[in-house]
């Protein structure tokens, strides 16, 4: 919805924009801020939910020109930079140790990084306290894959059957491979497309 609004905002009148901001984005912002504060209070900064709160908050901040929202999403005690250090191990794997959740968080972080890049902020270059980066996160999933390119059923088990795991792998790795091209990223993509019966054009 945020991306859609960003695409059409210039075609709307000032009155229409103000109505949407007042009736949609301001209440939505309040929900995001409250959700982030609640997770902080519970000491759940590492939660995979927080990655998605940050991407929504950051994307909306960029679209509305709200620097405070952008700072909350990236620089705050629960923002992207803090989570990169706290929720990602130095080898690049997300702390829960579940491949699905790892990719789930990577996808959120990459969407935020793309919004930030479009606004002159280089999240792809951010390095966590122990050397964590978005590139290392991508490498971590590639490195635990089996030789046939499938992902092991670690931690909470299999997410393969009737799942959106492979489409989400494709979404994340298309973004990452475009920004940080690596042979292993292309291999992860090819494997995920093949499991879906699709080629990568």
Tens of pLDDT, residue by residue over 59-102, are: 999 999 999 999 999 999 999 999 999 999 999 999 999 999 99
Cα–Cα distance for residue pair 80/50, rounded to 1 Å: 9
Q: Residue 160: what pLDDT?
A: 63
Q: Residue 163: what pLDDT?
A: 78
Q: Residue 153: what pLDDT?
A: 84
DSSP 8-state class, residue 123: G
Radius of gyration of the chain measured on its C-alpha atoms:
18
Mean pLDDT of 161-181: 91
Q: Is the pLDDT of residue 23 over 90?
A: yes
8 Å CB contact between 142 and 185? yes
Q: Residue 114: what pLDDT?
A: 98
26-41 helix and 48-64 helix, angle to the nearest 10 degrees:
150
Residues 6+ apart with CB under 8 A from 142: 184, 185, 187, 188
Q: Residue 164: what pLDDT?
A: 86
Mean pLDDT of 17-29: 97
3-state helix, strand, coil in the chain (%, to 5): 65, 0, 35
Q: Residue holding tokens 């700072």?
A: 71
What region does 151 belong to: left with phi over 0, alpha with psi -120 to 50, or beta? beta
- pLDDT bucket at 155, cuts 50 / 70 / 90: confident
Closest Cα partner for 90 from 134, 142, 131? 131
Q: Residue 19: what pLDDT?
A: 97
- pLDDT bucket at 17, cuts 50 / 70 / 90: very high
Both tokens of residue 154? Answer: 């670690």
Residues 6+ apart with CB under 8 A from 74: 54, 58, 80, 81, 112, 116, 121, 123
- C-alpha distances in Å from residue 192, one per residue of 57, 103, 133, 161: 30, 13, 23, 13
Mean pLDDT of 180-190: 95
What's the whole-model pTM score?
0.94
Q: Residue 158: what pLDDT?
A: 60
Q: Is the pLDDT of residue 159 over 80?
A: no
Share of the chain above pLDDT 90, in %: 87
Q: Residue 150: what pLDDT?
A: 87
Mean pLDDT of 14-35: 97
Q: Residue 3: what pLDDT?
A: 93
């Amino acid at each position: 919805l945020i991306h859609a609004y960003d695409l059409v905002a210039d075609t709307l009148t000032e009155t229409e924009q103000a109505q949407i901001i007042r009736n949609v984005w301001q209440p939505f912002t309040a929900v995001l801020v409250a959700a982030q504060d609640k997770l902080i209070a519970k000491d759940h900064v590492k939660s995979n939910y927080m990655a998605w709160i940050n991407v929504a908050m950051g994307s909306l901040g960029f679209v509305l020109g709200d620097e405070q929202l952008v700072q909350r999403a990236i620089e705050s005690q629960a923002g992207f930079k803090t989570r990169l250090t706290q929720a990602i191990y130095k080898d690049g794997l997300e702390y829960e140790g579940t491949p699905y959740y790892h990719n789930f968080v990577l996808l959120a972080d990459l969407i935020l990084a793309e919004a930030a890049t479009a606004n002159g902020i280089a999240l792809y270059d951010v390095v966590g306290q122990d050397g964590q980066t978005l590139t290392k996160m991508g490498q971590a999933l590639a490195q635990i894959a089996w030789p046939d390119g499938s992902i092991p059923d670690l931690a909470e088990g299999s997410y393969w059957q009737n799942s959106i795991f492979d489409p989400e792998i494709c979404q994340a790795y298309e973004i990452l491979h475009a920004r940080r091209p690596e042979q292993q990223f292309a291999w992860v993509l090819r494997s995920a497309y093949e499991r879906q019966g699709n080629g990568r054009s």
